[in-house]
């Protein structure tokens, strides 16, 4: 309710990311140019009218039932399914919903991208062959933040951790 990123204890890794699928894109902001009658070749003023889209995209290459529920959302149906003589409990999303969550991405070079309020869309990218792996494509679009001091996203590099008090 106050906005901002959740504490580290409340952030969960959803799965491993398939190599080569992670990206962070920021589109250019839209602007309106104003020209005068006297100087029609160059704008007298240029005003930003709409911010460009900011989003993280990545493909998960592994997941469990809890991850499916988190990224696809909605109510779930639970039933037992028997495959090759073994019985499994299946939890499957059955509704199409909007999923919102905080997203933190940490690169291999310790660069963090925090999105305190992201609209998350998930879809399967699943070639059913021996040489491919099932994937869930995640798109996390930065939404307007809730907290007064929050931006739609933050990018920063992790440095040395703070020294613990009394140490």
Q: Give me the pLDDT at residue 18, please.
A: 92
DSSP 8: G
Q: Give me the pLDDT at residue 79, please.
A: 76
Q: Give me the pLDDT at residue 92, please.
A: 64
First to last CA, the chain: 34
Q: Give me the pLDDT at residue 10, please.
A: 87
Residue 31 to residue 9: CA distance in whole angstroms = 40
Q: Give me the pLDDT at residue 1, please.
A: 65
Q: Which of 156, 151, 146 is nearest to 113 (CA)?
A: 156
Residue 125 to residue 58: CA distance in whole angstroms = 11
Q: Give me the pLDDT at residue 39, please.
A: 87
Q: Using only C-alpha atoms, what is the Rg of the chain?
A: 22
Regions of the chain where pLDDT drops below 50: none
Vertex 118, ends 30 and 145: CA angle to 5°?
Answer: 70
Q: Give me the pLDDT at residue 51, please.
A: 86
Q: Tell me the per-residue pLDDT of 110-120, one tens digit each, with 9 for 90 and over.
A: 999 999 999 99
């Amino acid at each position: 309710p106050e906005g901002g990123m959740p504490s580290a204890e409340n952030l969960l890794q959803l799965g491993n990311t398939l190599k080569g699928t992670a990206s962070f894109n920021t589109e250019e902001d839209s602007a309106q140019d104003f020209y005068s009658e006297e100087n029609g070749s160059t704008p007298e003023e240029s005003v930003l009218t709409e911010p460009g889209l900011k989003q993280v995209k990545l493909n998960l290459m592994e997941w469990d039932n809890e991850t499916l529920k988190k990224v696809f959302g909605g109510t779930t149906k639970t039933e037992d399914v028997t495959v090759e003589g073994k019985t499994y409990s299946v939890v499957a999303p059955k509704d199409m919903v909007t999923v919102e969550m905080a997203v933190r991405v940490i690169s291999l070079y310790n660069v963090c991208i925090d999105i305190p309020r992201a609209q998350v869309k998930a879809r399967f990218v699943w070639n059913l062959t021996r040489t491919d792996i099932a994937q869930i494509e995640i798109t996390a679009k930065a939404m307007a933040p809730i907290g007064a001091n929050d931006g739609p996203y933050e990018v920063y590099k992790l440095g040395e951790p703070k020294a613990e008090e009394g140490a």
